[in-house]
Amino acid sequence: MTNEEFRMTKETRILNDEPAAAPARIHSSFVIRHSALLFLLVSLPVFAETPRPTLPLDQRTNGRDTLVAIEKLRPLTTACTARVESPLGRAICTATIVGEDGYVLTKASEVPDLAKTRVHFADGRKADLREVHRDTALDLVLAQAVGITGLRAVSFGAARPLTMGQWLCSVANSAKETRIGIVSAKPRRIPGTGAALGIRMAEKADEATKGVRIIGIASESPAEAAGLHEGDVILAIAGELVDQFRRVHDLVNKRQPGDIVDVRFLRHEKEETCRVRLASRTKVLQNWEGEDFANGGISLRSDNFPQILQHDIPLFPADMGGPVATLEGKVVGINIARVDRVTTFALPVEAFWTDAQLWIKADRHPPKAVLAE
């Protein structure tokens, strides 16, 4: 028998599960393989588990190298911005300085009454604000700080050449720091969805009394902020009597977010009145559906803009009104709406600056601002 014939006969016996020698050979083969595996396992070196290298805490987000790279931008951003505050010093929004003689632009819907605010500049000076021109289509208001001169105005550049992914920077934390991000979408128009109170209303009229009963109020909504409660019965909106929920919707929806309306209502058989500052329907729905969770807030008005520049710089509603610039220091827009955790809308320079210059020019002749008494 040749060696090849012997090998084939051996394999046939094993495959056919023949008695006698086949089981012994299978056992022997298993033992050999098992022993070899144990040898390999024992022979492998045992490596001590070493901790993975980690970045220092100050390098995990805004690291030193990143901050050094954008440090040169601080004079081009924070120095030409200011903080608009309430009488108690709470930050309301940010203002972009557009004239060395006190002219600033900011988000109009956040400051319906500029006379009740003050502006705080980076050099520590504070002043009252005088409203010059309000543009509801752009949600911008031009104002002048009373008695302030010697400011550093922004240097505007064109926004049209920007492309998706291009780096931008902006001011944050009440104009105290600079943050960076990228252009995250193409420029476009943002249609409006109307204004809202943030309430759910009974569809059927209340038989016991005229008016429309509130059956639900959204969290952080205009209605909640104004002090309206579930169970209140709305009697009139802006002086017009209402007895159907659709009429309430129509009266509110035709207004702009940021507008203030008087609401007369019945509570515990007693008539009361409150003033409500309306918000975008988009904002109200996001709050109601939980989309604003852990977001830090959505701007009161977040839609209905003729043209926007979208970016992902991490900002808050109080940062709106501040400038957004390229890394070369050219301001290409003004932040106008915080939309969600990763989206901020800015008005591109081309949408407002030509008109704003005309507003300033008309106001300077003759100058209107006077020193505060």
Q: Quick one: average pLDDT of 276-295?
A: 74
Q: Which amino acid, one-letter code, is at 70?
A: I
Dihedral of the alpha carbons of 356, 347, 349, 178, in degrees to the nearest 10: 110
Q: Which amino acid, one-letter code, is at 337?
A: A
- pLDDT tier, 258 (very low <50, low <70, confident <90, very high otherwise): confident
How far is 213 from 56, CA to CA, in rounded Å? 57
Sequence-ordered list of residues with C-beta below 8 angstroms from that of 216, at least 6 positions apart, any chain: 199, 200, 230
- The mean of the pLDDT values for the chain is 82
b/e per residue, 181-208, with b = 16+ CB within 10 A?
Answer: bebbeebeebebbbbbbbbbbeeeeeee
Sequence-ordered list of residues with C-beta below 8 angstroms from that of 153, at least 6 positions apart, any chain: 80, 97, 98, 99, 100, 103
Q: For position 33, what pLDDT does the model report?
A: 52
Cα 176-182-184 angle, rounded to 5 deg: 125
- pLDDT tier, 302 (very low <50, low <70, confident <90, very high otherwise): very high
- pLDDT tier, 291 (very low <50, low <70, confident <90, very high otherwise): low
- pTM for this prediction: 0.76
Q: For position 177, what pLDDT does the model report?
A: 81
For tokens 């920077």, the residue is 169
Q: Indicate if the pLDDT at residue 151 is higher than 70.
A: yes
Q: For position 241, what pLDDT does the model report?
A: 93
Q: For position 58, what pLDDT does the model report?
A: 63
Each residue's pLDDT tens digit, 55-108: 677 666 656 676 677 777 777 678 899 999 999 999 999 999 999 999 999 999
State what percent of residues in the chain have pLDDT above 70.
75
Could you tell me the domains of the chain? 59-187+347-364 (2.40.10.120), 195-282 (2.30.42.10)
| Three-state DSSP class for residue 259 | coil
Each residue's pLDDT tens digit, 183-207: 999 999 999 988 999 999 998 776 6
| 38 against 137, higher pLDDT | 137
State what percent of residues in the chain have pLDDT above 90.
56
Q: Quick one: average pLDDT of 2-30?
A: 42
Q: Indicate if the pLDDT at residue 307 is higher than 70.
A: yes
Q: For position 8, what pLDDT does the model report?
A: 43
Each residue's pLDDT tens digit, 214-241: 999 988 889 999 999 999 999 999 999 9
How far is 127 from 103, CA to CA, in rounded Å? 12
| 294 against 329, higher pLDDT | 329
Q: For position 199, what pLDDT does the model report?
A: 92
Q: How many residues does the chain have?
A: 373
Q: Indicate if the pLDDT at residue 271 is higher than 80.
A: yes
Sequence-ordered list of residues with C-beta below 8 angstroms from that of 253, at least 6 positions apart, any chain: 194, 195, 196, 281
Each residue's pLDDT tens digit, 23-68: 444 444 544 455 554 444 455 455 456 666 676 776 666 566 766 7
